[in-house]
Structure 1
Amino acid sequence: MSTQENQRLAGFSPCEDGDNVMQLSEIREMVEARAKAEQGTRKNTTPQNLNVMNCVMSEDAGLGELYAKLQRGRFVFNRQSREWMEFNGVHWQLDTMERAKTCVNDVIDVLLSAAQKAGVNASEALKGGNKEIAKMYESQQKTIMNRARRLWRKGGPEACLEFAQTYKEPLAIKGDEIDQEQWVMACKNGVLDLRTGTFRDGRPDDYLLKAAPTEWQGFEFAAPNWEKFLFEIMSDDAEMVDYLRRLFGSTLRGGDKEHILPVFYGDGRNGKSVLVDMISQVLGPLVGPIPSEMLLDQGTARSSDAPSPSVMSLLGLRAVFASETDEGRRFSAARCKWLSGGDQLTGRWPNDKRPVTFSPTHTLFLLTNHKPHAPSSDFAFWERMHLIPFERRFVKGEPQKPNELTRDKGLKDKLRQELPGILAWLVRGCLEWQQEGLNPPPKVLAATDEYRRDEDLLSIFIDECCLVVEPDENDPTTRVNATEFYDAFVKWYGQNISKKKNFPQRKFGKLAQEKFPKRKVGGKNWYYGVLLSPDFKSEMGLFGSSEK
């Protein structure tokens, strides 16, 4: 209720002389009018045994304490973001409409009731001939009404809120409590315990801010179109469909994630975007996009002191999706491991004074038509990689190829009708993941192994251009000169990989030594167990002998 309405109901202006004690009938009318005006809008949350006079005698600080006692569990101030939050009965939400300020009126309600009670006590004391007691109650009534006037005046509500979040039992949190409950997830109508799949009411002390906008309607809610869609995009491979359920189900847990980087790969119109879009609609603010540049090699390092909103956007998310990388780009192995691991992240919003460090709660996905290049020798990177092929293609007309299906124009509308069923599918996947682990099927493992081998340029060069033999340090016919080996690779690299960028000799030497023993003989370095093939030497014009 607005300040003007409060004043109208009270029957006086804030500028009136505060020394005039109000009549009992006027106060009673004020209380009844406010009660009628707000009837049914909220529950009575006034704490029992509330000592109003103690609060009143402490002036603004006391009014803040009174507000905190009235609103605990309903409003809280987040010191990290400097914002008030409101509990909506299921989870916390940002107080974008400044309802915390509006609800200073609840303090006024308590003050008006206390003033009415003081007036009743004064009247009864007068009737009993006890003038001193009556005078005391009249003084209390006047003091209480002066405090109420303070809250109606400019700056009064702000002072009340300031003291509420700074007194000895502040109505405030540090901010790092938000969305840290790993095994619970808020949805539209309650909270899910992901360890068991049980459903319960939300509690303020869960401190859940992000919530799925989908109602939980139980495991029985069917999603036949969703199930059909999954089998279509996975080419009727039941193992892949089951794996997707465990994979997405595992993302629901907020913390201690599987250290993985799932990459959805395939040409356009294969269903991967629709899949992610539906998951995003089910989970809402629990998931979000990130720029694919966060995963790729940028060439230059940015200042560690610079704002990092992309990192901060990960705070509290259960899954994040990066989409589409340009052909020929390269993964930054360090960034991929950092963003998909369990180490704490540190970032800063542009207007923040200090950086924020937080534990990651997300699983990172990449959707792409082009596989970025990756370092084949980085074991930790490939241990995270799950390449998931999307081989189906949905076309407008009649299918012409075995992997094609006719596109269903109304598919998204059908799937939107099944969002509670998709939520149930996700929770089932979470329970299955806890029992079985991710357990990627052979198709994912084979695709990932092939991807890694394709990125091992030296292995490709050796397969195409060299002969691998049994190394023998006493046999010069089993070795190749290190300089000649590198020069041959550079020529092959320029013709087949990139004409614009050279392959560093030091990097080549490191990779070559991982495959072949290197020895220095006669002042020259040699690799044993590999030879350049005669055909390649002829093709490239490498006619010199390395055995001299």
Structure 2
Amino acid sequence: MSLDTESELARLDKHEKFRMEVYGSSYKPLGGWDSPEQEAAYRRSLNGDENPPETDEPTRAKQVPTSAPKVAGLSVDSFTEGAVGAAFHEAHRSELVAVREWKCWAGYQPDSGLWQAVASEEVTAKLLDWFEAGLFQQARQDEKLYRAARLFRNVTPCANAGRYASGKAKVSSSIFDANPDLLLTADGAVDLKRGALRQAEARDHFTRSARAGFEAGYTDPLWDEILSALPAGVADYLQIIVGNALTGHTLNQSMVFFFSGDGSNGKSTLTDVLKKMLGSYADRVDSSILLNSDGSNLFGKAKLKALRAAFIEELPKSNWLDALIIKELAETAEMTAAQKFKDEETFDFTATVFVNTNYLPQVSENDRGTWRRLAPVPMPYSFVSAEEYDRVADPESMGLRRKNPALAAAEKNASILKAALAWAVEGAVKWYAAGSVEPQLPEAMERAKSKWRGGQDKIELWWNERIVADSTSFCLLADLHDTFELEMTEIGRPAEKTRKFGEMLQAHSLFKEAGAECVQRQRAPQKLIHSEFTPDEKSRSQYELEPVARKPKGPCHFVKGIRFRTEADDLAYEQVVIPDTVADLMTDDLADDDAALADIFGD
């Protein structure tokens, strides 16, 4: 067989349906054979004669050069699964990576500026198309390369090459959303330090994006109206807090924010707009995140990864805020979580937590560290219909505001979202300019926190009901703890153990103001009066024997400077306070009567 005929024969493949057609029981190329010799050689190859005798007969081959040129940079070894996979990775390394923790590929989408998960089947299809358009076309110039390359026109070799490329392209999920000073918006990437907009790039590694478009200084009267639901000074403070939430930085004094108040006060409208404006940078998370600190909520915490803001809707009224989880959410730099069917991963925790609630919840601890992390945002106004507003003589003095129907679906208004984003970015710029330090709580929020904490103080509630300061008396610590447990049971709150109770008592301002002193393992003082506690009928079920007051025996734990409140104390209070008040009223009444008589009869 001549070299030309052999070259022609090498280009034929009975499996290439685009080149061959069935003709009776055999095949022929589309358009017929170029020569009888080519047909004969092809039939011999089908019969297993791989080395037919050469012939000097001329052929009509015109599509393949008589001597195929060598392709620069390619060899047969270039068409192994590993080599093809490596070449594919090198060609796509800036736009396609394999994320170790996700256990899948991630690809860059230029239209949105986002990196998104990509299925392995999609990568295999992409590799096949890339190979067909590139390496395979080059390989057609050489017989041996072509024979090696045509294997990759099948899915299986391409899938294997893709798996090899995956190993070369492995990256950690920590590369995504790693720049805290950048925010992806509908219009591009925003530099939060300067409030400047630029085009998003693959190297930014965004996986999240704000929903709103960005235009510096943009305003909308409806957004201003939404902010008017906040007390004086709170909107300016909240602008910086939300601006910080846009960044990947935590607050200098990290806190969890509680938008509180009765219904129809504007808190849902405000937080719905903020959440929608932030797009995938924000999400709603389950309230159990605030209530369970046992470490079992790994799946729930996974939603917090890469979030800039987390919104919680309405805590259960009967549940308690766990102080440990509050500290974790407010000040933890890293958090460990897992998505279902994926590995655990540790990530930087950057979310600011906002809670919507009609009722401020009970708090499990009353220490300064816990309360420093809690920030109530009061929403004091009620928004009512025009009819209800007009029926009241002075609605503003009653905290009533007229409801604006245009705000019924504010989170769907693109102009409001755009104004909210411009407002928040301005807050971020202010936060950076102030040295990345947020301002002090405004007065309205300080008052709300004091009121909230006042209703949470277990020691104060117990003290006011059970204890009187008295420098001549002492109480056994066990008796004090018994009364504390009884008081907590009555109000439906858990009581701390004796040791924790003692620590809380000694740290409290009421204990210090009374000049009290906690004494351990000493004999009872002879010069002080022992204030005894005898359980009443209501609490006798807690005791196996008839309730009898404890007596100090040997070294014991006791507190000097206080005693138990008695009925005599309550009676003395009534005799002192109430009569004075009545006397004042009677004096006022007599004065009024004297004035009336003087008007009638003269002096």
Q: Residue 53 of structure 1 aligns to a residue in which SS?
A: coil
Indicate yes or no: 2:411 matched with 1:387: no
Give the equivalent residue in structure 1 for 2:559. Answer: 527
Where 2:184 maps in the other structure, the secondary structure is: strand
Paired position in structure 1 for 2:580: none
Check if 1:250 corresponds to 2:244.
yes
1:317 aligns with 2:307: yes
CA distance in 2, matches of 1:70, 1:154: 19
The 3 A distance-change label for structure 1 pair 80 and 443 is same
CA apart distance, 1:348: 2.3
Contact 1:307–1:349 (8 Å) recurs in 2: no
Aligned counterpart for 1:77 among listed residues 95, 98, 105: 98
Measured in 2, the distance between the counterparts of 1:12 and 1:438 equals: 75
State the partner residue of 2:131: 107
Q: Deviations over 1:75-98 (max 9, x none)?
A: 222121112212112231222695
Match of 2:348 in 1: 359
Q: 1:48-197 maps to which residues of 2 (within 5 A)?
A: 53=74, 57-89=78-110, 90-95=113-118, 99-104=122-127, 105-115=129-139, 118=141, 137-140=142-145, 142-143=146-147, 146-147=148-149, 149-166=150-167, 170-197=168-195
1:514-548 residue CA offsets vs partner (Å, 9 max, x unmatched): 22312352446543343444447668xxxxxxxxx
Give the whole-Å Cα distance in 2 for the aligned partners of 1:56 and 1:190.
44
Whole-angstrom distance in 1 between the partners of 2:72 and 2:170: 22
Report if aligned partners of 1:270, 1:392 keep a CA contact under 8 Å in 2: yes
Q: Which residue of 2 aligns with 1:206?
A: 204
CA distance in 1, matches of 2:17, 2:227: 61
CA separation of 1:52 and 1:72: change in aligned 2, threshold 3 A: farther
Structure 1 range deviating more: 335-344 or 244-253? 335-344
Task: Pick closer, same or farther for the CA change 1:53–1:326 going to 2, 3 Å.
Answer: same
Higher Cα radius of gyration: 2
Question: More deviation in 260-269 or 90-99?
Answer: 90-99
Residue aligning to 2:56: none
Please, which of 429, 432, 435 is the counterpart of residue 430 of structure 2?
Answer: 432
Q: How far 1:312 sits from its partner (Å)?
A: 1.3
Call closer, same or farther: CA 1:9–1:69 in 2, change over 3 Å.
farther
**Preserved contact between residue 214 and residue 282 of structure 1 (Cα < 8 Å):** yes
Q: Is the 8 A contact 2:478 2:498 kept in 1?
A: no
> Hey, what's the Cα distance between the residues in 1 that align with 2:75 and 2:408?
60
> Residue 234 in 1 paired to residue 230 in 2?
yes
CA contact (8 A) 1:219 1:421 kept: no
CA distance in 2: counterparts of 1:12 and 1:256, whole angstroms:
67
Instruction: Find the residue that maps to 1:423 and give its secondary structure.
Output: helix
Matched AA of 1:260: M
Q: 1:46 matched to which residue of 2?
A: none
Given candidates 335, 338, 350, the residue that maps to 2:328 is 338
1:327-357 CA-to-partner distances (Å, cap 9, x unmatched) read 23211111111122133211223323x4211
User: Which of 268, 289, 293 in structure 1 is aligned with 2:284?
Assistant: 289
Q: Where does residue 575 of structure 2 map in the other structure?
A: none
Q: CA deviation at 1:488?
A: 4.4
> CA 1:99–1:58 in structure 2 vs 1: closer, same or farther (change >3 Å)?
closer
Q: How much does 1:101 deviate?
A: 3.2
- Could you tell me how far apart the structure 2 residues matched to 1:433 and 1:12 are? 71
Could you list the runs of 5+ residues in structure 1 that have no partner in the other structure?
Answer: 1-6, 28-49, 119-136, 540-548
Give the letter aligned to residue 175 of structure 1.
S
Change (3 A) 1:275 1:8: farther
Q: CA RMSD in A?
A: 3.4
Tell me which residue corresponds to 1:265. 260
1:369 to 355, 358, 379: 358
The answer (yes or no) to whether the contact 1:388–1:447 under 8 Å persists in 2 is: yes
- Alpha-carbon shift at residue 480 of structure 1 (Å): 4.5
Counterpart Cα distance in 2 of 1:507 and 1:213 = 48
SS of equivalent to 2:336: strand
Match of 1:222 in 2: 219
Q: Is the 8 A contact 1:86 1:100 kept in 2?
A: no
CA distance in 1, matches of 2:211, 2:341: 29
Closer, same or farther in 2 for the Cα pair 1:530/1:413, shift >3 Å?
same
Letter in 2 for 1:71: H
CA displacement at 1:52 relative to structure 2? 5.7
Corresponding residue number in structure 1 for 2:457 = 456
Counterpart amino acid of residue 517 in structure 1 = E
Q: 1:52 to 1:441 in 2, by over 3 A?
A: farther
In the aligned structure 1, how far is the partner of 2:97 from the partner of 2:565?
73
Aligned AA for 1:408? N
Aligned-residue offset at 1:485: 4.0
Q: Which whole-Å CA distance do the structure 2 matches of 1:92 and 1:197 have between them?
A: 23
User: By how many angstroms is 1:286 displaced?
Assistant: 0.8
CA 1:374–1:502 in 2, change beyond 3 Å: closer, same or farther? closer
Evaluate the alpha carbon distance shift between residue 187 and residue 296 of structure 1 in structure 2; reply closer, same or farther with a 3 A threshold: same
Q: CA deviation at 1:26?
A: 10
Q: In 2, distance between residues paired with 1:465 and 1:453?
A: 17
Q: Which runs of 5+ in 2 are unaligned?
A: 1-14, 22-26, 30-41, 51-60, 66-70, 526-551, 572-603
Aligned residues: 464
- For residues 183-239 of structure 1, give each alpha carbon's deviation from its aligned partner in whole angstroms, at most 9, with x where no partner exists: 1121223211212222222222222211223222x21322221111111x214x2x1
Structure 2 CA distance for partners of 1:328 and 1:10, relative to 1, 3 Å: same
Query: For 1:234, what is the secondary structure of its paired residue?
Result: coil
User: Secondary structure at the residue paired with 2:102?
Assistant: coil
**TM, length-normalised to structure 2:** 0.69
Q: Secondary structure at the match of 1:155?
A: helix
Measured after TM superposition, the shift of residue 269 of structure 1 is 2.0
SS of 1:455 mapped into structure 2: coil
State how far apart, in whole Å, the 1-side matches of 2:90 and 2:476 are. 82
**What is the DSSP-based 3-state SS (H/G/I as helix, E as strand, rest coil) of the residue aligned with 1:425?**
helix
Which range is displaced more, 399-408 or 259-268? 399-408
Q: Single out whichever of 152-161 and 410-419 deviates more from structure 2.
A: 410-419
SS at match of 2:101: coil
Work out whether residues 264 and 365 of structure 1, in 8 Å CA contact, stay in contact via their aligned partners in 2.
yes
Displacement of 1:407: 2.6
**Which of 275, 281, 294 is equivalent to 1:280?**
275
Distance 2:243 2:226 in 1: 17
Task: Sort the Cα spacing of 1:435 and 1:488 in 2 relative to 1 into closer, same or farther, 3 A.
Answer: same
Identity of aligned residues (%): 20
